[in-house]
């Protein structure tokens, strides 16, 4: 652990871990706002998202990375490259592990990649609310033999258990320095990106296994009307096959309507204004394995 200081600290922390370890849930918990999308399906996060936490004596900038895993598909390889690039630019690294579901292959791969970075590393043992106390102690013992972590902290991102302890441990590892962002700022991502992510989350939550991984969302139009009291948004959900388009639209347009309603409520909460949201669905064959299409869709 770094020694405590009364001086202000600010720095960058990468949240990394196997897919579905709870990284986005932790980021949202820490920020008190929904910035990063969450879903029970793995591989939800695709882009690095900077979330900013303002504390009494520190400002912590989080990079939320895609899950680090052994990737084969072109799209997934891009995501893992993105995660590892993020790790190279930070002051400290947080590895998050889902204690309820061990993934030894991903965990071994992840630790091997992170050892190369030569940065201070914290370990968060997440989802402790669903295992027994004696299992937590066994896991702390197991992980302490894997790597000399600065600290190993059992947490529940969902319920907030010991999350403050985790933040204090991070604070201790950061360099001294002034805040880099104004206090009201929670992320540096543009509003269009956050809106697209919120729509994509609803696709994840409301469609079957086959559809979400073939989905990308682009906000085509974002206009503030009536001096901030109404925002008009047009967005396109891109899929790879006609059958997926049918699933997203649903019988008589019912599924698309539900996706739109749920996304609109989240967006209204986020921006504090009424939203008029219009969604379109477009088939773009095999975009997730096409490098040019990936670039055009922002990946």
Q: Would 291 be classed as within a structural domain?
A: yes
Looking at 146, 173, 200, the residue that finishes a domain is 173
Q: What are the tens digits of pLDDT across the range 35-50?
A: 554 444 444 444 455 6
At residue 279, the pLDDT reads: 94
Say whether both 19 and 134 belong to one domain: yes
Say whether both 227 and 277 belong to one domain: yes
Please say if the pLDDT value at position 155 is more than 80: yes
Burial class (CB within 10 angstroms; exposed 0-12, middle 13-18, buried 19+) of 35: buried
Q: Would 3 be classed as within a structural domain?
A: no
Phi and psi torsions of 52, nearest 5°: -115, 125
Query: What is the pLDDT confidence band of residue 1, given thresholds at 50, 70 and 90?
Result: very low
Say whether both 18 and 127 belong to one domain: yes
At residue 293, the pLDDT reads: 54
**Reading across the β-sheet that carries 230-239, which strands appear in turn?**
216-225, 230-239, 274-283
Q: Would 181 be classed as within a structural domain?
A: no
The Cβ of residue 136 has, within 10 Å, a number of other Cβ atoms equal to 14
Select from 65, 82, 70 the least CA-distant residue to 15.
65
Say whether both 57 and 114 belong to one domain: yes
Say whether both 163 and 203 belong to one domain: no
Boundaries of domain holding 16: 9-173
Most confidently modeled of 34-48, 50-64, 123-137, 217-231? 123-137
Looking at 141, 173, 205, the residue that finishes a domain is 173
Q: Would 180 be classed as within a structural domain?
A: no
User: Based on the structure, what is the number of domains in the chain?
Assistant: 2
Q: What percent of the chain has pLDDT over 90?
A: 19
Say whether both 166 and 242 belong to one domain: no
Q: What percent of the chain has pLDDT over 70?
A: 71
Q: What are the tens digits of pLDDT across the range 262-280?
A: 999 888 877 778 889 999 9
Say whether both 146 and 218 belong to one domain: no
What is the C-alpha separation between 200 and 206, in angstroms, rounded? Answer: 10
Comparing 32-41, 218-227, 276-285, the range with the smallest average pLDDT is: 32-41
Q: Which residue has the higher pLDDT, 92 or 86?
A: 92
What is the C-alpha separation between 23 and 241, in angstroms, rounded? Answer: 30
Say whether both 236 and 285 belong to one domain: yes
* Parallel/antiparallel/unpaired status of strands 49-54 and 58-64: antiparallel
What is the C-alpha separation between 10 and 69, in angstroms, rounded? Answer: 29
Q: Would 161 be classed as within a structural domain?
A: yes
At residue 40, the pLDDT reads: 47
Task: Kindly tell me the sign of the dihedral angle through the C-alpha atoms of 205, 210, 211, 212.
Answer: positive
The three-state secondary structure class of 95 is: strand
Q: Would 182 be classed as within a structural domain?
A: no
At residue 268, the pLDDT reads: 82
The Cβ of residue 294 has, within 10 Å, a number of other Cβ atoms equal to 16
Say whether both 144 and 278 belong to one domain: no
At residue 122, the pLDDT reads: 93
Q: Would 186 be classed as within a structural domain?
A: no
Q: Provide the CATH number for the domain around residue 209.
A: 3.30.300.20
At residue 223, the pLDDT reads: 84
Looking at 114, 140, 173, the residue that finishes a domain is 173
Question: What is the distance of C-alpha 155 from the center of its chain?
Answer: 17
What is the C-alpha separation between 6 and 4, in angstroms, rounded? Answer: 7
Average pLDDT of the chain, as a whole number: 77
Say whether both 18 and 134 belong to one domain: yes
Say whether both 202 and 257 belong to one domain: yes
At residue 280, the pLDDT reads: 92
Average confidence (pLDDT) over 150-165: 92
Q: Provide the CATH number for the domain around residue 13.
A: 3.40.50.300
Question: What is the distance of C-alpha 258 from the center of its chain?
Answer: 23
CA angle 99, 43, 222 (to 5 degrees): 130
Comparing 52-66, 67-81, 206-220, 230-244, the range with the smallest average pLDDT is: 67-81
CA dihedral in degrees (203, 237, 197, 277; nearest 10)?
A: -90
| pTM of the entire predicted model | 0.59
Say whether both 205 and 163 belong to one domain: no
Q: Where are the alpha helices (DSSP H) in the chain?
A: 23-31, 74-88, 104-115, 133-144, 163-173, 191-206, 242-249, 254-271, 291-296
238, 287 in Cβ contact below 8 A?
yes
At residue 74, the pLDDT reads: 45
Q: Would 24 be classed as within a structural domain?
A: yes
Q: Give the containing element (helix H, strand E) for 238.
A: strand 230-239
At residue 167, the pLDDT reads: 93
**DSSP character at residue 149:** -
At residue 125, the pLDDT reads: 93
The Cβ of residue 242 has, within 10 Å, a number of other Cβ atoms equal to 9
């Amino acid at each position: 652990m770094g020694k405590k200081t009364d001086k202000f600290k600010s720095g960058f922390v990468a949240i990394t871990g196997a897919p579905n370890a709870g990284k986005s849930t932790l980021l949202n918990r820490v920020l008190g706002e929904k910035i990063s999308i969450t879903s029970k399906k793995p591989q939800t996060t695709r882009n690095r998202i900077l979330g900013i936490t303002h504390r009494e004596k520190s400002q912590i900038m989080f990079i939320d990375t895609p899950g680090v895993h052994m990737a084969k598909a072109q799209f997934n390889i891009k995501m893992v490259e993105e995660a590892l690039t993020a790790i190279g630019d930070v002051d400290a690294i947080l590895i998050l592990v889902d204690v309820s579901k061990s993934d030894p292959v991903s965990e071994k791969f992840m630790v091997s990649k992170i050892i190369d970075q030569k940065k201070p590393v914290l370990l968060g043992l997440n989802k402790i609310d669903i295992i027994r106390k004696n299992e937590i102690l066994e896991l702390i013992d197991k992980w302490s033999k894997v790597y000399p972590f600065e600290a190993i902290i059992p947490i529940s991102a969902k319920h907030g258990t010991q999350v403050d302890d985790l933040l204090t441990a991070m604070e201790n590892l950061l360099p001294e320095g002034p805040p880099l962002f104004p206090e009201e700022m929670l992320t540096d991502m543009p509003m269009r990106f956050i809106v697209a992510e919120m729509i994509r989350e609803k696709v994840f939550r409301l469609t079957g296994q086959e559809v979400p991984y073939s989905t990308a969302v682009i906000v085509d139009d974002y206009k503030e009307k009536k001096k901030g009291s109404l925002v008009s948004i047009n967005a396109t959900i891109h899929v790879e096959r006609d059958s997926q388009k049918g699933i997203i639209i649903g019988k008589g347009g019912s599924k698309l309507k539900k996706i739109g309603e749920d996304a609109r409520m989240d967006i209204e909460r986020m921006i504090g204004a009424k939203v008029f949201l219009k969604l379109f669905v477009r088939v773009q064959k095999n975009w997730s394995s096409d490098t040019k299409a990936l670039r055009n869709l922002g990946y």
